[in-house]
């Protein structure tokens, strides 16, 4: 088999990269080790930045997003007795959309299988080789158990945190890793009940953080801060609803409850791997970085990576120029660190940890953001997504 860009991983990063390169006339093959059903069943976050939405629409995969996505002009920050709305358009001229990132993946897969380049599910034993030369290759076993070799001009490692690509990059470059694990996790819940607020509520509470989000006018997505070792079987639906109602309580308002259809405990970590390139192997998305979900940056950062990478690979493979691939890692990492800082800052401000001194610092920060247009603008600009590139 031969293609111009071999893409390892069919998550949002790999699928969107394939789409963007296809639009530039660059051939790709996407290799995914899981089944389509498995990939499309993964519960993911649900906020898209404005540039993410525009990128998907411009790439011709945003039709359902425009039909079903919920445009949001802001979020609420809450602490006991106060629920304050940040109005994004007035603060920074941008907004966000509530649309399940799982739905983004489904839309990308549907488009790829309809008229896109090859997308192979169920592969195994994927190994990138000869990435330091101009003719790298990917060895793998296809879904029928037949050993294959994909000859490429470049490889994109979009295979997530547990993928095979990052170790190849760090082994060949003496790469650096940075990691921060947090002393808490999120208990995530999907419930068949209409959201009780029009936009997301990020609530600080002495018992712990709560986030009220949504997937549609009839489906709520809710999160509770819990200990990292928390067992989901210790959290009955009643206990979950009681904790959510306590942490988001506000005079004159009530949290609507309903049937819980999914619940799971999600770990919280920050992770960055540099560089994001070794020769003709380029990392993008979770393969190179992980952010805590508080800032809703995971998918949006992956979209920023592949926006830069698609332009760089097109310039290399169609124009024979290496300037953008040579600077890709540094340009991508600049945004990775900005989003890593913002996600850490939002997480540290909102999650109970430490002692009463820490709590007073958090409340002071929250009052500052809710009381200062300058402080609110800094949150709004980062949350809605800084310009890419
Ligand atoms: N070979 C082939 N595919 C692999 C391999 C491998 N060795 N290892 C992992 N994969 C696949 C995974 O099954 C997954 O489908 O690579 C894909 C990586 O996708 P994601 O983990 O979703 O990562 P990414 O595409 O970077 O998504 C970025 O989007 O929705 C958010 O939370 C998500 O933060 C993540 C972001
Ligand atoms: C979600 O809807 O899943 C969601 C929204 C905002 C976040 C994290 C997750 O910050």
pLDDT tens-digit readout, 146-189: 999 999 999 999 999 999 999 999 998 889 999 999 999 999 99
**Cβ-proximal residues to 243 (8 Å cutoff; 6+ apart), any chain:** 207, 208, 210, 224
CB 386 within 8 A of CB 338: yes
Joined tokens for residue 295: 């800032």
Is 359 contained in some domain? yes
pLDDT above 80 (res 135): yes
CA distance 379 to 388: 17
Pocket test for ligand 1, best of 286, 293, 297, 335 (most atoms within 8 A of CB): 286
Any ligand 2 atom below 6 A from CB of 343 = no
Which of 224, 207, 298 has its CA nearest to residue 266? 224
207 and 299 inside one domain: no
Band (pLDDT 50/70/90 cuts) for residue 389 is: confident
Atom in ligand 1 nearest the alpha carbon of residue 34: 13
Around 83, how many Cα atoms within 13 Å sit in the side-chain half-sphere?
A: 20
The mean pLDDT of 374-379, rounded to a whole number, is 98
Q: For residue 58, how many other CB atoms are within 10 A of its CB?
A: 11
Any ligand 1 atom below 6 A from CB of 12 = yes
* Sheet of strand 96-98: strand arrangement: 47-49, 96-98, 70-72
Atom in ligand 1 nearest the alpha carbon of residue 101: 30
117 and 45 inside one domain: yes
273 and 241 inside one domain: no
Torsion of CA 47, 53, 59, 64, to 10 degrees: 70
Alpha-carbon distance values, 68 to 100, 103, 201, 219, 385 (Å): 10, 10, 21, 13, 21
Atom in ligand 1 nearest the alpha carbon of residue 105: 30
**CATH of residue 337:** 3.50.50.60
pLDDT at site 172: 84
State the Cα angle at 265 between 285 and 81, rounded to 5°. 100
pLDDT above 90 (res 283): yes
Domain that holds residue 48: 5-70+97-179+269-348
158 and 300 inside one domain: yes
Helix axes 12-23, 298-319, angle to 10 degrees: 30
The alpha carbon of 30 and the centre of ligand 2 are apart by a number of angstroms equal to 28
The alpha carbon of 336 and the centre of ligand 2 are apart by a number of angstroms equal to 18
Task: Take atom 9 of ligand 2 and give the residue whose Cα is closest.
Answer: 45
pLDDT above 80 (res 313): yes
43 and 143 inside one domain: yes
18 and 154 inside one domain: yes
Convert the pLDDT of each residue in 242-276 to its tens digit: 999 999 999 999 999 999 999 999 999 999 999 99
Convert the pLDDT of each residue in 37-89 to its tens digit: 999 998 788 899 999 999 999 999 999 999 999 999 999 999 999 999 999 99
Active centre residues (catalytic):
72, 202, 293, 297, 383
**CATH of residue 236:** 3.30.9.10
Is 175 contained in some domain? yes
Q: What is the DSSP letter of 2?
A: B
pLDDT above 90 (res 278): yes
pLDDT at site 42: 85
Any ligand 2 atom below 6 A from CB of 102 = no
Is 86 contained in some domain? no
Any ligand 2 atom below 6 A from CB of 83 = no
Task: Take atom 21 of ligand 1 and give the residue whose Cα is closest.
Answer: 160
Please give the share of the chain, as a percent, with pLDDT higher than 90: 96
For the chain, report the end-to-end CA distance as a whole number of angstroms. Answer: 33
Task: Take atom 6 of ligand 2 and give the residue whose Cα is closest.
Answer: 296
pLDDT above 90 (res 388): no
Is 81 contained in some domain? no
132 and 201 inside one domain: no
When mean pLDDT is compared across 31-45, 135-149, 312-326, the lowest value belongs to 31-45
The alpha carbon of 121 and the centre of ligand 1 are apart by a number of angstroms equal to 13
* Closest ligand to Cα 108: 1
Atom in ligand 2 nearest the alpha carbon of residue 346: 10
The mean pLDDT of 293-322, rounded to a whole number, is 96
Omega within 30 of 0 (cis) for the link into 144: no
Q: What is the DSSP letter of 354?
A: S
284 and 327 inside one domain: yes
pLDDT above 80 (res 127): yes
The alpha carbon of 172 and the centre of ligand 1 are apart by a number of angstroms equal to 22
Is 83 contained in some domain? no
Split into its structural domains, the chain has a count of 2
The alpha carbon of 284 and the centre of ligand 1 are apart by a number of angstroms equal to 10
CB 10 within 8 A of CB 30: yes
pLDDT at site 320: 96
Any ligand 1 atom below 6 A from CB of 32 = yes
21 and 128 inside one domain: yes
187 and 315 inside one domain: no
Torsion of CA 325, 275, 54, 159, to 10 degrees: 110
The mean pLDDT of 300-325, rounded to a whole number, is 97
pLDDT at site 158: 98
CA distance 271 to 353: 20
Which of 14, 275, 91 has its CA nearest to residue 166? 275
117 and 159 inside one domain: yes
Convert the pLDDT of each residue in 92-106 to its tens digit: 999 999 999 999 999
Is 88 contained in some domain? no
The mean pLDDT of 125-140, rounded to a whole number, is 97
Q: Is 176 exposed, middle or buried (0-12, 13-18, 19+ CB in 10 A)?
A: exposed
297 and 374 inside one domain: no
Atom in ligand 2 nearest the alpha carbon of residue 101: 3
Is 335 contained in some domain? yes
């Amino acid at each position: 088999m031969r293609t111009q860009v071999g893409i390892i991983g069919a998550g949002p990063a790999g699928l969107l990269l394939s789409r963007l390169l296809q639009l530039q006339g660059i051939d790709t093959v996407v290799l995914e080790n899981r089944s389509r059903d498995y990939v499309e069943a993964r519960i993911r976050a649900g906020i898209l930045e404005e540039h993410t939405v525009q990128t998907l629409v411009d790439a011709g995969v945003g039709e359902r997003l425009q039909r079903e996505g919920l445009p949001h002009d802001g979020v609420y920050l809450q602490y006991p007795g106060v629920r304050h709305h940040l109005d994004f358009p007035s603060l920074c001229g941008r907004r966000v959309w509530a649309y399940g990132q799982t739905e983004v993946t489904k839309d990308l897969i549907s488009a790829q299988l309809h008229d896109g380049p090859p997308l192979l599910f169920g592969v195994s034993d994927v190994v990138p080789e000869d990435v330091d030369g101009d003719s790298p290759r990917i060895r793998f076993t296809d879904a029928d158990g037949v050993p294959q070799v994909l000859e490429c001009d470049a490889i994109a490692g979009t295979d997530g945190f547990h993928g095979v690509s990052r170790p190849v990059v760090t082994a060949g470059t003496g790469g650096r890793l940075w990691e921060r694990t947090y002393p808490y996790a999120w208990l995530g819940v999907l419930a068949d009940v209409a959201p009780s607020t029009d936009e997301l509520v990020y609530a600080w509470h002495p018992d712990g953080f709560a986030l009220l989000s949504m997937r549609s006018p009839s489906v709520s997505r809710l999160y509770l801060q819990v200990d990292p070792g928390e067992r989901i079987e210790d959290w009955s639906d009643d206990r979950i609803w009681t904790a959510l109602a306590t942490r988001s309580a506000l005079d004159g308002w009530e949290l609507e409850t309903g049937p819980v259809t999914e619940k799971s405990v999600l770990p919280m970590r920050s992770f960055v791997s540099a560089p994001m390139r070794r020769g003709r192997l380029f990392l993008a998305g979770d393969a190179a970085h992980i952010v805590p979900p508080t800032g809703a940056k995971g998918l949006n950062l992956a979209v920023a990576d592949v926006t830069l990478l698609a332009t760089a690979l097109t310039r290399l493979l169609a124009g024979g120029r290496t300037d953008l691939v040579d600077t890709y890692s540094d340009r991508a990492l600049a945004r990775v660190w900005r989003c890593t800082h913002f996600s850490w800052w939002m997480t540290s401000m909102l999650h109970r940890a430490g002692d009463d001194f820490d709590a007073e610092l958090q409340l002071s920060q929250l009052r500052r953001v809710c009381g200062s247009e300058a402080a609110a603008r800094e949150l709004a600009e980062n949350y809605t997504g800084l310009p890419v590139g």
